[in-house]
């Protein structure tokens, strides 16, 4: 049987062309402590260096056999470039992802520096992506936050949520601004040659918003984003999504990704077999907490539910157990030679 390189496998997967086996990858962070410690650095240092980002993602894939690499790992690169700062927790011994320390206190106060795309760590992320693309070994995944989730990084979320009831026009103007930023960054990463682009509207599940509000506040802007981007483009949402699957499927993405709260069997029925379905194991529970011998059951559960690739429901927590990640990869390789609903096999 012909075998493909990781990059070919992922590229063909997104074109819905037959592949040799199911790729093992994600649209969210996949860096591991195993790679970080092999590099002899601390997790808090990895975010500030293009070389560290590129090397840690590549090493994680080398160690565990992933088909793709993803950078960056934190949500703060754009807010930081917008002038909101970034806490990296240099003094903490534990693994902590950077956060945005300050937010604008009202919707109208949001002002973008004209050269924000060249500020803070934006150039560094681009350099890391260029390095990974030119290495030509793994598929390279780019990602951006969706407009609402990005908005929640730079403004108090309650202002946005309450604003929808009290001040719709201001909220709409703010969301348009965020949408423009998301499109600009995603297009820039696509121009660098990333193989797929994930739009993570992760904070917009129905744990927070009603389906009606989702259609009003989230869907129009996601449609705008996906209309502006080239394929392949993926929409990922964490948390409750069962009530908005059809609406998500109507945003213009090529693939949908869900976390463990989604009922994949029902979702597959709703979206049909043409749409790429990605998901949906609990990354922390499966890769950090569980005994390794239980992992195959979880992965097979995703396969049986009809996914086209087994994605974690979010970033994998870096402190994974090696044996659990190995079990994830091994199980997909073992059972992934069978065609999935949207992708055949050679």
Partner 1 sequence: MISEERRAEILKMLSDGVVEYQEDQVKEYSHVAVDEGLDAYDAIMNGLAAGMEIVGDLYDRQEYFVPEMLMCADALYAGLAILKPHLKKDDSKGVKGQVVIGTVQGDVHDIGKNLIKLMFEVGGFTVHDLGRDVPLEKFSEEQLRTDSEIVALSAMMTTTMMGMKRVIEMIKEKNPDVAIMLGGAPVTKDVVTLFGADGYAEGAGNAVQEAIKMIGQLRKLNRDGAPN
Residue numbers at the binding site for partner 1 (CB under 8 A): 87, 89, 92, 94-97, 99-101, 157-158, 161-162, 164-166, 206-210, 213, 238-239, 283-285, 289, 314-315, 317, 319
| Separation CA 202–CA 147 (nearest Å) | 10
In angstroms, what is the minimal distance from the CB of 99 to partner 1? Answer: 5
Return the closest-CA partner of residue 83 out of 113, 123, 118. Answer: 113
Residues 6+ apart with CB under 8 A from 302: 264, 279, 280, 281, 310
- Residue pair 1/18 in contact (Cβ under 8 Å)? The answer is no
- Residue pair 154/103 in contact (Cβ under 8 Å)? The answer is yes
In angstroms, what is the minimal distance from the CB of 320 to partner 1? Answer: 12
In angstroms, what is the minimal distance from the CB of 217 to partner 1? Answer: 9
> Which of 138/317 has CB closer to partner 1?
317
| Separation CA 278–CA 200 (nearest Å) | 13
> Which of 162/333 has CB closer to partner 1?
162
In angstroms, what is the minimal distance from the CB of 281 to partner 1? Answer: 12
Strand order in the sheet with 233-237: 68-70, 139-145, 196-200, 233-237, 255-258, 276-281, 309-312
Helix (H, G, I), strand (E, B) or coil at 97: coil
> Which of 210/323 has CB closer to partner 1?
210
In angstroms, what is the minimal distance from the CB of 209 to partner 1? Answer: 6
> Which of 59/100 has CB closer to partner 1?
100
Return the closest-CA partner of residue 268 out of 238, 235, 302. Answer: 302
| Separation CA 158–CA 152 (nearest Å) | 9
In angstroms, what is the minimal distance from the CB of 223 to partner 1? Answer: 21
In angstroms, what is the minimal distance from the CB of 13 to partner 1? Answer: 26
In angstroms, what is the minimal distance from the CB of 69 to partner 1? Answer: 19
> Which of 138/214 has CB closer to partner 1?
214
| Separation CA 40–CA 52 (nearest Å) | 11
The full DSSP string for 139-185 is EEEEEEE-HHHHHHHHB-HHHHHHHHHH-HHHHHHHHHHHHHHHHHH
> Which of 115/158 has CB closer to partner 1?
158
| Separation CA 326–CA 24 (nearest Å) | 11
> Which of 161/292 has CB closer to partner 1?
161
Return the closest-CA partner of residue 70 out of 117, 35, 113. Answer: 35
> Which of 8/319 has CB closer to partner 1?
319
Strand positions, DSSP E, 43-170: 68-70, 139-145
Compute the C-alpha angle 114/116/118, nearest 5°. Answer: 115
In angstroms, what is the minimal distance from the CB of 319 to partner 1? Answer: 8
């Amino acid at each position: 049987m012909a075998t493909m390189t990781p990059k070919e496998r992922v590229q063909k997967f997104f074109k819905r062309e037959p592949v040799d086996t199911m790729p093992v990858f994600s649209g969210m962070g996949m860096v591991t402590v195993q790679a970080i410690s092999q590099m002899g650095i601390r997790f808090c240092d990895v975010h500030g260096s293009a070389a560290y980002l590129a090397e840690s993602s590549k090493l994680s894939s080398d160690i565990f056999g992933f088909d793709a690499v993803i950078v960056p790992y934190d949500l703060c690169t754009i807010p930081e470039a917008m002038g909101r700062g970034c806490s990296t927790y240099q003094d903490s011994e534990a693994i902590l992802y950077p956060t945005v320390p300050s937010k604008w206190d009202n919707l109208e106060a949001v002002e973008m520096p004209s050269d924000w795309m060249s500020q803070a760590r934006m150039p560094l992320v681009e350099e890391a992506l260029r390095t990974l693309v030119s290495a030509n070994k793994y598929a390279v995944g780019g990602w951006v936050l969706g407009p609402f989730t990005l908005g929640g990084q730079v403004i108090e979320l309650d202002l946005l949520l309450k604003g929808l009831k009290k001040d719709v026009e201001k909220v709409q103007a703010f969301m348009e601004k965020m949408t423009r930023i998301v499109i600009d960054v995603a297009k820039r990463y696509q121009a660098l040659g990333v193989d797929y682009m994930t739009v993570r509207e992760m904070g917009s599940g129905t744990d927070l918003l009603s389906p009606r509000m989702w259609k009003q506040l989230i869907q129009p802007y996601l449609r705008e984003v996906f209309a502006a981007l080239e394929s392949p483009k993926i929409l990922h949402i964490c948390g409750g999504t069962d009530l908005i699957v059809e609406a998500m499927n109507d945003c213009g993405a090529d693939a949908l990704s869900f976390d463990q709260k989604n009922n994949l069997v029902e979702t597959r029925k709703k979206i049909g077999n043409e749409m790429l379905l990605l998901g949906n194991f609990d990354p922390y529970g499966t890769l950090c907490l569980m005994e390794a011998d239980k992992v195959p059951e979880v992965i097979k559960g995703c396969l049986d539910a009809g996914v086209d690739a087994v994605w974690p429901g979010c970033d994998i927590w870096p402190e994974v157990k090696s044996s659990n990640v190995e079990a994830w990869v091994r199980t997909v390789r073992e059972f992934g030679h069978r065609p999935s609903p949207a992708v055949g096999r050679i």
